[in-house]
Amino acid sequence: MWCFRFLCICFFVFNLYTVQAQVSCRTPNGENARCVPINSCTILYEAVLTKDPEVVRFLRESQCGYSSGPLVCCGSVASFAPPPTSTIILNRRPDLLPDTQECGYQDDADRILNGEITIPEEFPWAALLGYRNSSGFEQFSCGATLISQRYVLTAAHCVAGKILRAVGTLHKVRLGEWNTETDPDCYGGGTFKVCTEKPQDFGIEEAIPHGDYVDGTRDRYHDIALIRMNGNARISKYVRPACVPQPSSDQITTANKLVVVGWGKTETGKYSAIRLKLKVPLVSEASCNGVFSRAGVNVRSSQLCAGGEKNKDSCNGDSGGPLLIERNNIFYVVGVVSFGAP
């Protein structure tokens, strides 16, 4: 379990995207179709009852939105064969955000376990930021989230100010990492042993902290940043962007359960080598200020609070990592980890 604290999250975008039913869409097979509730699509509704892995994959790729329930792109062709290659090439400019058919989903979702340990295919948008000091020593000290082939989202304090003096120059972005102590990452044993692709490392073309961020303040307002990598990510089952919500629909409330992901300290005080996940509740602004005011911090409406459950919050090492919400098996990044309170 992770150590105990509230998290203050720099609020990225507050609302989630809701696709209206009956808009046009394209199925994974390339057929022009309509976006409808799944129970209105006989082909997919009946096929999913078979629990065939190919059908599950096809259904996930057919997701086209959410409106009081999952929406799917409903065609007339009952062929669920996988595409000829497992590598996905985004068909939009790499510096633009992908749509919900290209982001936010995980392969092998039926293998994902409860608890805090992830599997390599889980949260393929989780990234690490590497720093190098004047002696050449390198270490990972912040997290980030891949949001397109060229950009990751992180905290402003991870790209500017004190961290660059204390830890070193921001040197690289690593994608597709699962276990920082092994290369390649393998899991299982014997005939069930599976090894992942090698991580993808990219240099920093530009780090862009929020224009109003002021380093060193307790409140850390506007603690959010983008990093443009010096190359395009190769999209695969281990590397894929999270979805970015649109500012036009469902609000996040304290009824929502959110997820943080990272390699932060465990209850032993050590950093985890393996990527961890944790479900955390959203905390009201009033409750949040009740905790942070004792440290002289005033939380604004542009910040979120999450966590506060004993032994169940992320700690040092997760700065800049994602706060996620899941809608119909699609994950949206709604904030980045900024700081915490005891």
Active site residues: 157, 223, 319
Q: Are 267 and 3 in contact (CB under 8 A)?
A: yes
What ranges make up the beta strands (E) of the chain?
6-11, 24-26, 32-37, 63-66, 70-74, 126-132, 138-146, 151-154, 169-175, 186-187, 194-195, 200-202, 204-209, 225-229, 257-262, 276-283, 303-307, 322-327, 330-341
312 CB-near residues (< 8 Å, 6+ apart): 1, 2, 4, 278, 280
- Exposure letters 318-342 (e unless 16+ CB within 10 A, then b): bbbbbbbbebbebbbbbbbbbbbbe
Closest CA to 63 of 84, 38, 85: 38
As beta bridge partners, residue 118 has none
DSSP 123-176: STTEEEEEEE-TT--EEEEEEEEE-SSSEEEE-GGGTSTHHHHHT-EEEEEEES
174 token code pair? 């690593």
Dihedral angle sign, alpha carbons of residues 57, 59, 64, 66: negative
CA distance linking residue 211 with residue 309, whole number of Å? 33
CA distance linking residue 192 with residue 240, whole number of Å? 24
CA distance linking residue 325 with residue 261, whole number of Å? 11
30 token code pair? 């390339």
